[in-house]
Amino acid sequence: MVTGGLVMITDVQGWKLEVGQYVMTDPIVFSKERNSLGLIDWGDEGMKKWIQNHECNKICHSISMERDEELIQNLQTYLDKFKSKKLQDLLFELDIITGKQPQDTNE
């Protein structure tokens, strides 16, 4: 996997801007740790269920799925920062993420 299993982006819709640049609308993202990215983040369980139900098509076969070390490092940094209760409160306040706020987050 491109992210080394840190995150899985599903329900991808959007368009390509130029080589390596895409605009995605309304994606669902699962991280290794359930609820790290909000209540729609079902963690490893969500990843497994998605893989079990997915049927590859021509789009799947046309995109690169090679491991990207720089992306993995950037994602890990982002996920670590996102665990901050202050940041989660701000994102909910700005309606960037929705749903019920997780109660058990690290400061």
Q: Under DSSP, is residue 68 helix (H, G, I), strand (E, B) or coil?
A: coil
Q: Read off the pLDDT band of 58 (50, 70, 90).
A: confident
| For residue 95, pLDDT beyond 70 | no
| For residue 5, pLDDT beyond 70 | yes
Give 14-36 pLDDT, tens digit per residue. Answer: 888 887 787 878 778 888 888 88
Q: CA 102 to CA 54: how far, in whole Å?
A: 28
Domain boundaries, the chain: 7-93
